[in-house]
Amino acid sequence: SAPYNHKVIEKKWRKYWEENPVNVNDGKKPKYYCLDMFPYPSGSGLHVGHWRGYVISDVWSRYKMLKGYYIIHPMGWDAFGLPAENYALKMGVHPSVSTAENIANFKKQVKDIAAIYDWDMEINTTDPEFYKWTQWIFVKMFKAGLAYQKEMPINWCPSCKTGLANEEVVNGECERCNSPVTKKNLKQWMLKITAYADRLLNDLDKLDWPEKVKKMQSEWIGKSYGAEIDFAVDGSDKTIRVYTTRPDTLYGATFMVLAPEHAMAKELATAENKELVEEYIYKASMKSSVDRLQDKEKTGVFTGSYAINPLNNKKIPIWLSDYVLADYGTGAIMCVPAHDERDFEFAKKFDIPIVQVISKDGKEDAELKEAYTQPGIMINSDRWNGMDSEKAKKEVPDLLEKQGIGKKTVNYKLRDWVFSRQRYWGEPIPIVHCKDCGAVPVPEEELPLLLPDIEKYEPTGTGESPLANIQDWVNTTCPACGKAAKRETNTMPQWAGSSWYFLRYVDNKNDKELVGKDKAEKYLPVDMYVGGVEHAVLHLLYARFYTKFLNDIGVIDFDEPFTRLFNQGMIGKDGAKMSKSKGNVISPDGLIEEYGCDSLRLYELFVGPPELDSEWDDRGIEGVYRFINRFYNLVVANKDKTLEATEEMIKIRNRFVYDITTRIENFNLNTVISGFMEYNNKMIDLAKKAGGIDRDTLQTAIILLAPFAPHVSEELWSQLGNTGSVFDNTWPEYDEDKMKDSEIEIAVQINGKTKGTLMIPAEASKDQVLSIVKETMADKITGTIIKEIYVPGKIVNIVVK
């Protein structure tokens, strides 16, 4: 019969599945929601790196389907935001046009994966029927006091000409274009994610997520305990509040540093120091955050003023330096050079005294060569002397609070989320600014507030979005009082839609509710979420925040969106991440043409452990292609034989099921593929010995392969004379008793030297084994036996004299 022809087979089964969907919701099966992080449809299309996550999630979905679940496996498009707008600008077209083209192209490419996506559930974040609800959530947050305006210095990308969230600044650079990020004072919409800090932290315990990701989130939230302490300014009635996590070192505070942006920075400058101070403040404002953080050498300026250490009333100089951040803690710190590395460096450079207050053994060091950051015994600290520093750390905040010097605090690194962008391609923020009523939300029944269709959408760079120039859109009336008012012109960040999209798939046509209660209850939350680890903080944290909020206002009845998370590693080529700019992108199209979808699916898994980064090698796909051919030929050659299964066949079949099942369950998907190759070889050997392979074993092998290589599995299933789909089956079971060998090989030693091997019955007892050995090896055992050692299943050692 005909050899394996992927083109014919794949075309045939695609058509079959279109007419006979395999993933059916009969209302009785339990649901399993397996979600991909939806793609951002860029202009360059899908490459084999994108495929990896989609293949993993599809294999998992199909496996669960065979295990008896109805699978929710949707796909959609995350299409608002900077990259799409930058691409459109570059191509000289409107973003709505390029976005639609990119989506069409992506969809075509995604379909090539042959995943069981339910396209009836498709969503697109730029579709007004979708972003109506993105805006609705904003209005609800506004009404709940969680969306508010604030004038503040925000991260500003001079190249993208827009403000950025902290999460979008990576090592001081714009996540999108890698330009150094600067600061700009702008009135911003903020989302109060900090109100959820404790829940976002504590609920990590509930999640079946990689520990690494949970750790990144908890560090990002960054909860710490400390104290705020007020220092009086010498010769004035003013005080400066500092935030410290080490109030136990208060006796060692020999100077104070304020961020250059601190509200009191200028007024603290004495006449003599005024000029230098102002120059320093100006220079700091011009520096990008990269430079501020990466500066090797500490810089600073003395204000000329002094503060009073509230414990010992000593005068300490007040400096300004940009190593203190304006928007963390209070923007001012007490500096303890003996025990903090940055303070140590600063004190050395500017010749400020260093007072040690903790030492290893209670004795002061002759000279500190570096900051001593370990625990120890308190010294130079008056009545705290001799105390264990760890104990002091715990008790001092209370002591200070009792003395009225400070107040215990909990601090978080997490900031509120800067939610406005000064760009065109995003959801308009549904707010109207009225002179009398202030910020008024657009009435919920008027949503969506459509993004106006305009020709000139280039960023202005003035801090205003291009929407500000469209007079007939901007000028409106106040929904509260009816007087003339102006629309908010900022748009939402790209993350807005992706923070809740997973809820919408299951009820994407509902124009009354974000998601209907019945559907939410039946199909949500997500059971398995598959995507790249680069979203560990941003997207996953925002999505958790939105879910908790929607839970609080009664839209959904759960408060964590993704029960289980799997992060696939990236695919690289020639040691570098695959990217268009590096010119090392491999498109799946040519590989599908030459080897077929099934082979590409297998190779995406075979390339390496799914959670690790792996190197792509085009030659590797030939190996899996050969395997498919060999398996195909084996099944076809044996399809008409009526053979009784031998004991050996039954054993191999059960082991096969066991190995593949346990490897899938452990997500060792690359070893699943090597397992197929290994068992295929075993079956080929067996066929030679026994004149063929029994039908049960062949059918079992085909079902096992089906989630991985669905087309060829369907084809072989039907070649065996079956009707319907291979996915009508249930996942095969294994019987551990039948996996055991009937005979095993053991080594025989005399006086520790190996003399040969013997086959013995697998179930034989020690006595039985020894008697078999003594009988067969009688001629070799000369002398008196003084000891007999049996290592079960492995070795017999006879010691003679």
> Rounded to the nearest whole angstrom, what is the least distance from the CB of residue 285 to Zn ion in the complex?
36
Q: Among 37, 141, 227, 334, indicate the residue that binds ligand ANZ (CB under 6 A).
A: 334
Which residue among 281, 324, 442, 673 contacts ligand ANZ (CB under 6 A)? Answer: 324
Minimal distance in Å, beta carbon 337 to ligand ANZ?
Answer: 9
3-state secondary structure of 266: coil
Minimal distance, residue 336 CB to ligand ANZ, in Å: 4
Helix runs in 553-596, H state only = 588-595
Position among 246, 423, 548, 695 found at the interface with ligand ANZ (CB under 6 A): 246
* Pick 340 or 694: Cβ nearer ligand ANZ: 340
Instruction: Find the binder of ligand ANZ among 76, 331, 430, 608 (CB under 6 A).
Output: 331
User: Between 338 and 429, whose beta carbon lies closer to ligand ANZ?
Assistant: 338
For ligand ANZ, give the closer residue by CB, 411 or 680: 411
Number of neighbours of residue 564 by Cβ within 10 angstroms: 14
Helix axes 588-595, 48-66, angle to 10 degrees: 60
Q: Give every strand in the sheet of 743-750, ordered side by side.
A: 753-761, 743-750, 795-800, 785-791
Element (H, E) at 519: helix 517-523
Among residues 390 and 436, whose Cβ is nearest to Zn ion? 436
Which one of Zn ion, ligand ANZ, none is in contact with 224 (Cβ closer than 5 to 8 A by kind)?
A: ligand ANZ
Q: Which stretch binds ligand ANZ (CB under 6 A): 98-106, 122-130, 240-248, 602-610?
A: 240-248
Selected from 61, 162, 244, 671, the binder of ligand ANZ by CB under 6 A is 244
Within 390-449, which residues bind ligand ANZ (CB under 6 A)?
411
Nearer to Zn ion, 318 or 478 (CB): 478
Residue 61: count of CB within 10 angstroms of its CB? 26
Cα 726 from chain centroid (whole Å): 34
Show contacts with Zn ion in window 462-501 (CB under 5 A): 478, 480-481
Report how far residue 119's alpha carbon sits from residue 108's, in angstroms, rounded to the nearest whole number. Answer: 12
Tell me the site size for Zn ion, rule CB under 5 A.
Answer: 6
Gyration radius (Cα) of the chain, Å: 34
Closest distance of CB 370 from ligand ANZ, Å: 12
Q: Using CB distances below 5 to 8 A depending on partner kind, what does residue 480 bind out of Zn ion, ligand ANZ, none?
A: Zn ion
556 binds Zn ion (CB under 5 A): no
Q: How far is the CB of 319 from ligand ANZ (least distance, A)?
A: 13
**CA 226 to CA 408: how far, in whole Å?**
6
Rounded Cα distance between 255 and 303, Å, is 12
Instruction: Please check whether residue 457 is in contact with residue 94, taking contact to mean a CB–CB distance below 8 angstroms.
Output: yes
By CB under 6 A, the residues from 339 to 358 that bind ligand ANZ are: 339-340
**From ligand ANZ, Zn ion, none, which one binds at residue 437 (CB under 5 to 8 Å depending on kind)?**
Zn ion
Question: Which region among 86-94, 335-343, 401-409, 449-457 touches ligand ANZ (by CB under 6 A)?
Answer: 335-343
Shortest CB 81 distance to Zn ion, Å: 31
In terms of CB distance, is 440 or 669 closer to Zn ion?
A: 440
Separation of alpha carbons 461 and 467, rounded Å: 13
Q: How far apart are CA 207 and CA 213, in angstroms?
A: 11
Q: Using alpha carbons, list the distances in angstroms from residue 309 to 282, 313, 314, 393.
A: 29, 5, 5, 18
Out of 329, 428, 710, 732, point to the residue binding ligand ANZ (CB under 6 A).
329
Q: Which helix (H) or strand (E) holds 635?
A: helix 620-638
* Residue 143 annotated as part of some ligand binding site: no
Tell me how far, at minimum, the Cβ of 178 lies from ligand ANZ, in Å.
25
Q: Are 578 and 49 in contact (CB under 8 A)?
A: yes
SS3 382: helix
CA dist list (Å): 30 to 33, 728, 796: 10, 16, 53
Nearer to ligand ANZ, 377 or 556 (CB): 377
- Decide if 390 contacts 97 (C-beta within 8 A): no
Residue choice 333, 628, 686, 726 for contact with ligand ANZ (CB under 6 A):
333
Residue type, 734: Y
Q: Enumerate residues 399-458 that contact Zn ion by CB under 5 A.
A: 434, 436-437
Spatial separation of the C-alpha atoms in residues 624 and 606, rounded to whole Å? 8
Looking at the DSSP assignment, which residues form a beta bridge with residue 36?
530
Dist CA 532 CA 593 (whole Å): 27
**φ and ψ of 737, to 5 deg:** -65, -35
189 — alpha (psi -120 to 50), left (phi > 0) or beta?
beta
**Lookup: tokens for 679:** 């068992």
Nearer to Zn ion, 219 or 446 (CB): 446
* Least Å from the CB of residue 186 to Zn ion: 24
Does position 712 bind ligand ANZ by CB under 6 A? Answer: no
What are the backbone angles phi and psi of residue 729, rounded to the nearest 5°?
-80, 170
Cβ closest to Zn ion, residue 481 vs residue 762: 481
Stretch that binds ligand ANZ, among 53-61, 287-295, 332-340, 726-734 (CB under 6 A): 332-340
If the CB atoms of residues 148 and 328 are measured against ligand ANZ, the closer one turns out to be 328
Q: How far is the CB of 474 from Zn ion (least distance, A)?
A: 15
CB of 306 or CB of 603, closer to ligand ANZ: 306
Residue from the set 325, 643, 758, 781 that interacts with ligand ANZ by CB under 6 A: 325
**β strands within 524-623, DSSP E:** 526-532, 562-568, 571-573, 576-577, 614-615
Three-state DSSP at 760 gives: strand
Q: 3-class secondary structure for 276-303?
A: HHHHHHHHHHHCCHHHHHHCCCCCCEEE
Our CB check for Zn ion shows the closer of 436 and 685 to be: 436
Binding residues for ligand ANZ, rule CB under 6 A, total: 17
Stretch that binds ligand ANZ, among 68-76, 334-342, 375-383, 714-722 (CB under 6 A): 334-342
Residue 487 CB, nearest approach to Zn ion (Å): 13
**In sequence order, what are the residues at sequence separation of 6 or more whose Cβ sits closer than 8 angstroms to the Cβ of residue 96?**
126, 453
Provide the minimum distance between the beta carbon of 139 and Zn ion in the complex, in angstroms, as a whole number: 16
Alpha-carbon distances, residue 369 vs 92, 348, 356 (angstroms): 60, 10, 12
Please give the distance of CA 658 from its chain centroid, rounded to a whole number: 31
Q: How far is the CB of 72 from ligand ANZ (least distance, A)?
A: 41
- Least CB distance to ligand ANZ at residue 158 (A): 24
Phi and psi at residue 717, to the nearest 5°: -60, -40
Question: Contact with ligand ANZ (CB under 6 A): which of 42, 194, 245, 563?
Answer: 245
Contact partner at residue 411 from Zn ion, ligand ANZ, none, CB < 5 to 8 Å by partner kind: ligand ANZ
Amino acid letter at 550? L
Rounded to 5°, the CA angle 194-186-130 comes to 60
Sole binder of ligand ANZ in the list 5, 20, 224, 312 (CB under 6 A): 224
Q: Which of 336, 530, 565, 760 binds ligand ANZ (CB under 6 A)?
A: 336
Between 131 and 255, CB nearer to ligand ANZ: 255
Q: Which is nearer to ligand ANZ, 215 or 582 (CB)?
A: 215
Listed ranges 206-214, 241-249, 558-566, 609-617: which one lies at the site for ligand ANZ (CB under 6 A)? 241-249
| Cα(545)–Cα(71) distance, integer angstroms | 26
Which of Zn ion, ligand ANZ, none does residue 436 bind to, with CB < 5 to 8 Å depending on kind?
A: Zn ion
Question: Residues, the chain, total?
Answer: 801
3-state secondary structure 690-738: HCCCCHHHHHHHHHHHCCCCHHHHHHHHHHCCCCCCHHHCCCCCCCHHH
Q: Which residues bind Zn ion (CB under 5 A)?
A: 434, 436-437, 478, 480-481
Residues at the interface with ligand ANZ (CB under 6 A): 224, 243-246, 249, 324-325, 328-329, 331, 333-334, 336, 339-340, 411
Binding residues: 580
Binding residue ranges for ATP: 580
